[in-house]
Amino acid sequence: MSAVDLTSWEVSDAPLETAASALQHYLSRAGDEPRLAIAGGTAAGALRPLNARIDPATWQRLRMTWVDERRVPLASPDSNRGAVHRQGWLGPHSPVGREIPLWLDGESPAGAVARATRAIAEELDHAIDVLLLGMGEDGHVASLFPGHPALAAVVPIVCVDDAPKPPPHRITMSLPLLSTAAAAVVVATGLAKREALQRLRDGDRSLPIARVPRLHVITDQRLSSMR
């Protein structure tokens, strides 16, 4: 049996649409004010079809935050939050009911950690209902990289100053906070992710993504059977 907590594994030719459908399903089960934490990058593109699937009233009750952020200005092309807003992926029903950034222009790392930690405690009750995640070619999730000390963090939010993938300065949810979610929808596409996907399917717990429970993996890669 795989040591990885896999709820579902889907191969799709339209992974963002499939991810939006999964998110709609899980958010519909998460109460009147669902708590959603999202990644940047390709995975965040699932927000556009998601917006078309849920009614404006639900969207405006949504409490949304980010699983990680690069510590760069909002206007930078490296900003996860900035990219989502510039692409219009939050759609015509924006703003969501509450958006909690992990990083604001002009903050210090300690100030950002304190503010985000307080907001997650006071406004999200220390937990997330649904995650929208990506996965790196090395199996990293959020800004938690293989072998990095941040993987052992027990506080909800942690700064990373030496990420092996640029930009190096980041802020991220820890594994304990990610693990509060009832569902973690993972979008992992492209040939470059194939090896990590196979390792995940085979139960390789050395991958940071493998340590997040209740994974619903959506990919365009067709793999061999579980080894």
What backbone torsions phi and psi does residue 55 show, to the nearest 5 degrees?
Answer: -75, 155
Complete domains list, the chain, with CATH: 6-207+214-219 (3.40.50.1360)
The 10s digit of each residue's pLDDT in 151-183 is 999 999 999 999 999 999 999 999 999 999 999
Q: What is the pTM of this model?
A: 0.94
Q: DSSP character for 206?
A: T
| Token pair belonging to 71 | 């510590």
The predicted pLDDT at position 224 comes to 74
Instruction: Give every residue of the chain whose pLDDT is below 70, as ranges.
Output: 1-2, 91-94, 225-227
Three-class DSSP category at 19: helix
Whole-angstrom distance, CA of residue 16 vs CA of residue 122: 31
Contact in structure between 92 and 86 (CB atoms under 8 Å): no
